[in-house]
Amino acid sequence: MNAEQQLELRRKVAELLVVRASGHALDSLREYPAWELSNQELKNLLRDGVGGVILYGGTVNEIQERTATLQSLCNTELLFCADVEEGVGQRFAGGSFLPPPMALGLRYLKDPDHTIKLAEEYGKCVGDQARRCGLNWVLAPVCDVNSNPFNPVINMRAWGSDPQIASVLACAFHKGIVSQGVMSCAKHFPGHGDTRVDSHLELPIIDHDFQRLEQLELIPFQSLIEAGVSSVMSAHVLLRNIDRTCLATFSSKILVKLLRKRLGFEGLVVTDALLMKSISDRYNSGEAAVLAFEAGADLLLMPREPFIAINALVEAFMKGRIPLRRLDQSLKRRRKAFCDIKKNCSNQFQKEDELKTQQFVKAKDISLVHKLVDVSIQIKNPHGIARSGDLVNLIKIDQALSSFQLCNSSPALMIPQQNGFRNIVCHPLGVSPWQDSEEEPLALDRLGSGPFLLQLFFRGNPFKGDQNMKEPWVAVVEQLQKDNLLSGLVVYGCIYFWERLLTVLEPSISAAYSPGQIPEAQEKILTALFAKSKGKAVSMNNSLEFTN
């Protein structure tokens, strides 16, 4: 192979990579600089022929400009994607942020037809806003069946804990997405729903065999394949009764024998992010890229060191470890996906320059958010919020910095404050609220004498592991009830956590639940709770305290 042929091979290999970049134009604004390439590195990779970019951060207007700028740097038609499973606003400010998919999974049995319609509207909203941002590939729907209530990473991201419900709703979402000229992606194959380990942090090990997968995990994937999904994402999980030595992303038994041959999938197979610790703690970027492509993947998402990944793949092809026909097959699948995108977009949507003059979030998007909140919240005994005493609004959130759930104007803070409550926010960087007592874990001497309104933002999230599960909130509810100090309880997020708290919650306590943690859900719940309360607030305290 001469120098010119080697250069062409390198360009083709680069087309297989999807690299991580910030949605912000300036390097100094990168939110995760350890993962997001600098502009110079990104420019070099695009000129080498890298075929895709996954974006995070910035506003919807910035993403419009960013995608146009990046496309201008290369001749390859780029795949622009993002993890916007719950709406474009999940990653990019200015877009719609929707309640999580499980909100509809919980609703399905009450009204199947309406729920399916809402799932399709959900997909249309995501697809329309993604396309207008410049994205052509949405890394959703999650097709995992969340059969394990203690799953720390899938959890509310799933469309249900029943395979048939998850299948129907994921298909409706997919239909909505593709109707807007955007590719979808079924993930995480062959199923990440029955794990107690977060693959962002360590490798989940699952004991299921083919028979179990066919009975549960594979049902949504099979339905999506039959519906024409363009891409499937592999899971970083080890199914040791199917392939004892290789995790799914590196297993030809799973990606070829099961996905390609048994389920008949002919589209793009993309890996989950290769910088996740379940991979990066065991393999360097070159080894991971070669193993994944060798096993049957077509696209390699977020290798930690893209240049090393390209070099390793080029060497594998040149030495014959991987046949060149595999490279041609993957590139053909990638180009077919682009043809499908263009076919869906032809003469159907306005030009991007016309779209910039419009309001980004449309009235129908706002209406959808409110409909989803309305059908998913639960309110119990809405008449007992205390209005006198040392009123404390105790809030628990997962993170202190750039938290979408909570800012100065969040209803979770403002509405209780307007009703005389003093706000205290627990987060991982603050001072601990705990004392050394299993029965009375909350240190009341540091927090106040109460009564307390508890607002718990609690759900499975990537990179959080099971840290939420270890916090003694069940004991806190029992402690406050015993001393007659619990005025109300609100849970935003995990349905399983809400159900655990209900087992100890006294019927007289005002309580509410929302799958979504968004401001619209906070306002709906708290307005209802305080509107039903009697009496007049006796104090106002505008302070905002932070603890852990």
CB 63, CB 23: distance < 8 Å: yes
Using omega within 30 degrees of 0 as the cis cutoff, is the peptide bond preceding 100 cis?
no
| Residue 283 three-state SS | coil
* Residue 436: CA count within 13 A, CB half-sphere: 0
Catalytic pick among 24, 174, 192, 200: 200
Q: Is 495 exposed, middle or buried (0-12, 13-18, 19+ CB in 10 A)?
A: buried
Residue 148 one-letter amino acid: N
Residue 506's contacts (CB-CB under 8 Å, 6 or more residues apart) are 481, 486
For 487, the token pair is 């005025």
* Element containing residue 55 per DSSP (H, E): strand 52-56
Instruction: Answer whether 86's CB lies under 8 Å from 97's CB.
Output: yes
Answer yes or no: 200 catalytic: yes
Nearest to 64 by CA among 38, 88, 86: 88
Rg over alpha carbons for the chain, rounded to the nearest Å, is 24
Strands 52-56 and 231-234: unpaired
The answer to whether 259 touches 265, Cβ cutoff 8 Å, is yes
User: Among residues 83, 128, 198, 272, which one is catalytic?
Assistant: 272
**What is the number of H-type helices and E-type strands within the chain?**
20, 17
C-alpha closest to that of 492 among 516, 466, 463, 525: 516
Q: H or E element: which one contains 547?
A: strand 544-547
Q: Active-site residues: which are they?
A: 200, 272
